Homo-oligomer: A and B are copies of this chain.
Amino acid sequence: MAMNPADATIDADELLALRLRALAHPARLAILRALAQTERCQCGQIVRGLTLAQSTVSQHLKVLKEAGLITGTIEGPRSCYCLDRETVAMLADELLPLLDLLAAAPAQGSGADNPDPRADALV
Protein backbone atom coordinates (compact mmCIF):
# COMPACT_ATOMS: atom_id res chain seq x y z
CA MET A 1 0.00 0.00 0.00
CA ALA A 2 1.17 3.45 -0.85
CA MET A 3 4.19 2.63 -2.94
CA ASN A 4 4.23 5.63 -5.21
CA PRO A 5 7.65 7.29 -5.40
CA ALA A 6 6.56 10.40 -3.56
CA ASP A 7 6.23 8.35 -0.41
CA ALA A 8 9.84 7.35 -0.45
CA THR A 9 10.98 10.32 1.55
CA ILE A 10 7.93 10.67 3.75
CA ASP A 11 8.39 10.35 7.45
CA ALA A 12 5.77 8.98 9.78
CA ASP A 13 4.32 12.32 10.74
CA GLU A 14 3.96 13.42 7.18
CA LEU A 15 2.07 10.26 6.34
CA LEU A 16 -0.12 10.69 9.38
CA ALA A 17 -0.75 14.30 8.46
CA LEU A 18 -1.59 13.28 4.91
CA ARG A 19 -4.22 10.86 6.12
CA LEU A 20 -5.64 13.27 8.64
CA ARG A 21 -5.88 15.88 5.94
CA ALA A 22 -7.77 13.40 3.80
CA LEU A 23 -10.22 12.90 6.64
CA ALA A 24 -10.55 16.60 7.30
CA HIS A 25 -13.35 17.50 4.93
CA PRO A 26 -17.08 17.09 5.48
CA ALA A 27 -17.67 15.68 2.01
CA ARG A 28 -14.96 13.10 2.46
CA LEU A 29 -16.30 12.12 5.86
CA ALA A 30 -19.68 11.60 4.23
CA ILE A 31 -18.13 9.52 1.48
CA LEU A 32 -16.31 7.33 3.96
CA ARG A 33 -19.44 6.78 6.02
CA ALA A 34 -21.35 5.82 2.93
CA LEU A 35 -18.66 3.35 1.93
CA ALA A 36 -18.71 1.92 5.42
CA GLN A 37 -22.34 1.00 4.95
CA THR A 38 -22.34 -0.50 1.52
CA GLU A 39 -18.83 -1.90 1.14
CA ARG A 40 -18.94 -1.55 -2.61
CA CYS A 41 -20.19 1.69 -4.04
CA GLN A 42 -20.23 3.15 -7.49
CA CYS A 43 -19.13 6.67 -8.03
CA GLY A 44 -22.53 7.69 -9.33
CA GLN A 45 -24.25 6.67 -6.13
CA ILE A 46 -21.92 8.85 -4.14
CA VAL A 47 -22.44 11.75 -6.51
CA ARG A 48 -26.20 11.47 -6.17
CA GLY A 49 -25.91 11.41 -2.40
CA LEU A 50 -23.97 14.65 -2.27
CA THR A 51 -24.83 18.08 -3.56
CA LEU A 52 -21.55 18.40 -5.43
CA ALA A 53 -20.60 18.17 -9.05
CA GLN A 54 -19.44 14.82 -10.33
CA SER A 55 -15.98 16.13 -11.00
CA THR A 56 -15.69 17.45 -7.48
CA VAL A 57 -16.68 14.14 -5.99
CA SER A 58 -14.21 12.42 -8.24
CA GLN A 59 -11.48 14.63 -6.86
CA HIS A 60 -12.45 13.87 -3.28
CA LEU A 61 -12.32 10.20 -4.13
CA LYS A 62 -8.87 10.73 -5.54
CA VAL A 63 -7.70 12.36 -2.32
CA LEU A 64 -9.03 9.47 -0.28
CA LYS A 65 -7.42 7.02 -2.64
CA GLU A 66 -4.04 8.74 -2.49
CA ALA A 67 -4.24 8.64 1.28
CA GLY A 68 -4.79 4.92 1.04
CA LEU A 69 -8.13 5.07 2.80
CA ILE A 70 -10.08 3.67 -0.13
CA THR A 71 -9.41 1.60 -3.19
CA GLY A 72 -10.97 2.09 -6.56
CA THR A 73 -11.31 -0.44 -9.32
CA ILE A 74 -12.73 0.04 -12.74
CA GLU A 75 -15.60 -2.24 -13.61
CA GLY A 76 -16.69 -1.73 -17.11
CA PRO A 77 -17.85 1.82 -17.64
CA ARG A 78 -18.11 2.50 -13.93
CA SER A 79 -15.84 2.59 -10.93
CA CYS A 80 -16.26 0.65 -7.77
CA TYR A 81 -14.86 2.13 -4.60
CA CYS A 82 -14.22 0.28 -1.42
CA LEU A 83 -12.95 1.26 1.97
CA ASP A 84 -9.47 0.02 2.69
CA ARG A 85 -10.37 -1.11 6.15
CA GLU A 86 -6.87 -2.30 6.82
CA THR A 87 -5.40 1.14 6.28
CA VAL A 88 -8.16 2.66 8.35
CA ALA A 89 -7.31 0.27 11.14
CA MET A 90 -3.64 1.18 10.85
CA LEU A 91 -4.55 4.83 11.07
CA ALA A 92 -6.60 4.14 14.15
CA ASP A 93 -3.71 2.25 15.69
CA GLU A 94 -1.53 5.25 15.17
CA LEU A 95 -4.04 7.86 16.15
CA LEU A 96 -5.39 6.40 19.33
CA PRO A 97 -2.09 6.28 21.22
CA LEU A 98 -1.43 9.81 20.10
CA LEU A 99 -4.76 11.07 21.37
CA ASP A 100 -4.23 9.13 24.56
CA LEU A 101 -0.89 10.80 24.99
CA LEU A 102 -2.41 14.20 24.41
CA ALA A 103 -5.38 13.67 26.67
CA ALA A 104 -3.44 12.14 29.54
CA ALA A 105 -1.80 14.09 32.28
CA PRO A 106 1.79 15.05 31.53
CA ALA A 107 4.62 12.82 32.60
CA GLN A 108 5.90 13.42 36.10
CA GLY A 109 8.98 15.53 36.48
CA SER A 110 7.99 18.08 33.91
CA GLY A 111 5.51 19.83 36.10
CA ALA A 112 4.15 23.27 35.72
CA ASP A 113 6.66 24.91 38.01
CA ASN A 114 9.73 23.65 36.28
CA PRO A 115 11.46 26.79 35.09
CA ASP A 116 13.58 24.98 32.57
CA PRO A 117 11.77 22.18 30.76
CA ARG A 118 13.68 20.76 27.89
CA ALA A 119 12.12 21.83 24.64
CA ASP A 120 14.63 19.96 22.53
CA ALA A 121 12.44 16.92 22.60
CA LEU A 122 10.39 18.60 19.94
CA VAL A 123 12.26 17.55 16.85
Chain B residues in 8 Å Cβ range of A20: 20-21, 23-24
A107 and B37 within 8 A (CB): yes
Question: Which bucket holds chain A's interface residue count?
Answer: 35 or more
Closest to A111 in B: B39
| 8 A Cβ contacts from A1-15 to B | 11, 13-14
A122 and B36 within 8 A (CB): no
Chain B residues in 8 Å Cβ range of A51: 123
* Residues in chain A within 8 A of chain B (CB atoms): 11, 13-14, 16-18, 20-21, 23-26, 29-41, 45-46, 48-51, 83, 85, 88-89, 91-92, 95-96, 98-107, 110-112, 114, 117, 119-123
